[in-house]
Chain A
Amino acid sequence: MAVKILTEHINVPNINTFEVYRKMGGYTAVEKALKTMTPEEVVEEVKKSGVRGRGGAGFPMGMKWSFLAKPEGVPRYLVCNADESEPGTFKDHYLMREIPHLLIEGMIVSSFALGAKKSFIYVRGELMYVIKILEKAIAEATAAGFLGKNILGSGYDLELVVQPGGGAYICGEETALLESLEGKRGNPRNKPPFPAVKGLYQSPTVVNNVESIANTPWIINNGGETYAGLGVGRSTGTKLISASGHINKPGVYEIPLGITVEDFIYADEWCGGIRPGHHLKAVIAGGSSVPILPAKLILNLANGDKRLMTYESLSDGGFATGTMLGSGGFIAMDETACIVRNTWTFARFYHHESCGQCSPCREGTGWMDKVLERIETGKGNMRDIDLLVDVAKKIEGNTICPLGDAAAWPIASAIRHFRSEFEWHITHPQEATQPGAVYRGEMELV
């Protein structure tokens, strides 16, 4: 059985209460950090662990912490990004619902390391019941003396605030999140200045994902080097993967980084294979924003080696033959899934969620949505395919925030790997618009 960092005690009855969580060894990291360590030592420990941001970009967390500006007389903030709204990703939701104290403990340790006196958890507005769970957990921790003034007699004060989001995907982008937290319209900010210099209320701010923060108690308890010992190369530790789609056992899995993709899909410990009688056609490995890969390329690298569930291995080969680990939203599709319809669904999502601030994303996402709708409903034209590629290229990299890239990548990659399917939709409009119609031409299934 692999090491579990986040989900070890998740099945213990009543783990969402303070007593049970404490009995299972909870809040020892707070005691250790506040009583025996300096903030710098905590940062150093997290740096040593090599843990990378779990929100999608995979930026080393320790490095992010060390970039935080520390001017005199200005407050510093830690903001936990719990606005998980990427289609295909549902790990933070699960973690906060089942074991809220793990996040609270991580927030205390991380805030202590960064010297933040007030920290925020920005939860997406749709998850109102999770917000209530978190608020209950905070009240329990405050009553037990782990939050509030002079925590455990160390002289460190911390106030933890849970803020419901307004229900916009864009507010998961860190600067839009900060705007929203300040009570403004959730438009991403231009960078630089980065949040580490001018973030919330123009003060230095660190924004971290729920899963990243939830890793810190374990790192403090067991040491950064132990954590770095898990995983492969620069992908250290474990990762929560939200597996969905045509697999036998969908759900949230904590995997040690470094298992092969093949193992993850077919081993009984994880997804348990593709549903009976069907074959794997394509995989979206890290949530809707990352490029889709056909079965053959997701299982093996371009050079024939097995692909691993790590940041490096998944992005091997660039976007020509690779993808990204992203936020770990693993969507597997068998041969009954229509790639065009799927791509259109994503395009519709990004069209709906674009904030409308910068022109390429505002206009481009709508354009791609409309063109894909035409192709899917049998009114497509051969030149539409190249048009989509070109529009995606013009959006990518030219926008304020990564939403533009996230809208462009799935479409560009779907056309790159499944062009014949798009062409079939255009050349066979009659067949393609039948309910449940799927391209049955040549494709490589596994």
Chain B
Amino acid sequence: METTAPQLFKITFDGIEIEVPPGTTIMQAARQLGPKYAPPAMCYYEPLKGTGGKCRACLVKVTAGSAKDPRPMPKLIPSCITTVQDGMEVENTTNESVLEARKGIVEFLLINHPLDCPVCDQAGECHLQDFAFEHGRVTTRYEEERRTFEKHDIGPYVQLHMTRCILCYRCVFTADQITNKRVHGVLNRGDHAEISTYIEKAIDNDFSGNVIDVCPVGALTDKTYRFKNRVWFTKPVEAHCDCEKCSGKVTLWYRGDEVIRVTARKNEWGEVKEFICNTCRFERKKTSEWTIEEPTKISRHSVIMANKYRADLKKPDFGLKVAAAQYKEIDDSRPYLTDNNTIRELSKENNAKANQRSLAENN
């Protein structure tokens, strides 16, 4: 009998070689390299089957299809649903056309988005915010009227703010896959498509609250938490309880001593692996109802970490090492100016140049 180790496919992602098992998508392979390399994902949600391919934020350039057929793919392809081939070469942030396309996607997603981040509960943990910050342009070219919707209460706990929705379909997949009966879906077409319940029916089942967690923007919000706080003022703590409906593994969000919100645990990609029930999410808001485990680990770059002191985080000494390696004496051959008038003129000139440069960048 033959015993062969599972064959691995070798792919090159932004010049980095990585070996992954067949059937892996480009996105999953890139995520193994870390958040610095992974393409952004607005609709793809690994725990939910069938998601992906809709938002086009994760488009990448495949410069070589495979070792057998090294032709480049003519179009940019969505990395979240494309499986790797042996010898595939992928360009993400190293390719100009990818960055250009992503700039376009951000712009498209934002033209009908209300940009009400200052009053939005999702601000600070919003995927669209992160995506726009990373890939968007500073100004907008959109002068037209934005599409708006009325707010809907769907069920006792969830409010739908459709104007903010980017139609990622994640909540539809969630309802399909973790609840028995889906009563909400997408109505209408094009930019007037909206998430809605089946003829004003309320979403009423024990796992409905999970649509809030999967929503990448602030379209589906927790009615018990609405307008109570900003995410960066709260402190997330891992906790569990003995729940008969779900795993009971949650993140508690504290403000002072008060639990102001309960969510499922999210991984570094913002994805929930174990969905929780509505009782845990909406009803258990006392510390005494939970067994506290430890503070949630959150990337130091996240705004959620702002103003929080973490003893277990040591500053890495890379910075010092890099500085030591790059140290050299300043060799400035420019004349040392003492004449005030010349300095004033030069600084005016430099300011004008800098202004022009930043204007050009912004346009």
Contact = CB atoms under 8 A, between A and B. Distances in A.
Do A and B actually bind?
A: yes
Interface of A: 168, 170, 185, 190, 351-360, 362-367, 370-371, 374, 387, 391, 394-395, 397-400
B193 A370 contact: no
A359 B56 contact: yes
A359 B142 contact: no
Contacts of A351: 190-191
B76 A398 contact: yes
B53 A355 contact: no
B59 interface: yes
Closest 6 pairs between A and B when the two form their complex, measured CB to CB: A394-B104, A356-B193, A363-B108, A354-B190, A190-B53, A370-B144
B189 A394 contact: no
Contacts of A185: 185-186
A331 to B, nearest CB: 24
B162 interface: no
Given A370-B144, A394-B101, A399-B56, A360 B108 contact: yes
Given A352-B189, A356-B188, 7 more contacts: A190-B52, A190-B81, A352-B190, A356-B190, A359-B105, A374-B144, A394-B108
30 contacts: A185-B186, A354-B189, A354-B190, A354-B191, A356-B189, A356-B191, A356-B192, A359-B108, A359-B109, A359-B167, A360-B108, A362-B108, A362-B167, A362-B193, A363-B109, A363-B112, A363-B191, A364-B108, A365-B190, A366-B112, A366-B191, A367-B108, A371-B144, A391-B104, A394-B107, A394-B108, A397-B75, A397-B76, A398-B76, A398-B101
Contacts of A387: 141
Interface string B156-197: 000000000011010000000000000001101111110000
A398 B191 CA distance: 17
B240 interface: no
Given A359-B55, A398-B59, A366 B190 contact: yes
Interface of B: 42, 52-57, 59, 74-76, 78, 81, 100-101, 104-105, 107-109, 111-112, 141-142, 144-145, 147, 166-167, 169, 185-186, 188-193
Given A370-B144, A398-B76, A359 B189 contact: no
A400 B75 CA distance: 11
A54 B159 CA distance: 48
A309 to B, nearest CB: 27
Nearest to A169: B189
The secondary-structure label for the interface of chain A is: helix
Contacts of A360: 56, 104-105, 108
A387 B141 CA distance: 8
A344 to B, nearest CB: 14
A170 B104 CA distance: 23
A74 B112 CA distance: 44
Given A356-B193, A398-B56, A367 B142 contact: yes
Contacts of A397: 74-76
Nearest to B186: A185
B56 A355 contact: no
A398 B167 contact: no
A107 to B, nearest CB: 30
Interface centre among B75, B107, B109, B147 (most CB of A within 10 A): B107
B56 A358 contact: yes
Given A370-B144, A394-B108, A400-B53, A362 B76 contact: no
A370 to B, nearest CB: 4
A356 B101 CA distance: 18
Nearest to B107: A394
Contact of A367 (B54, B56, B74, B144): B144
B189 A168 contact: yes
Contacts of B147: 366
A191 to B, nearest CB: 9
B239 to A, nearest CB: 36
A397 B100 CA distance: 13
Contacts of A395: 104
A356 B167 contact: yes
Given A363-B109, A370-B144, A398-B105, A357 B59 contact: no
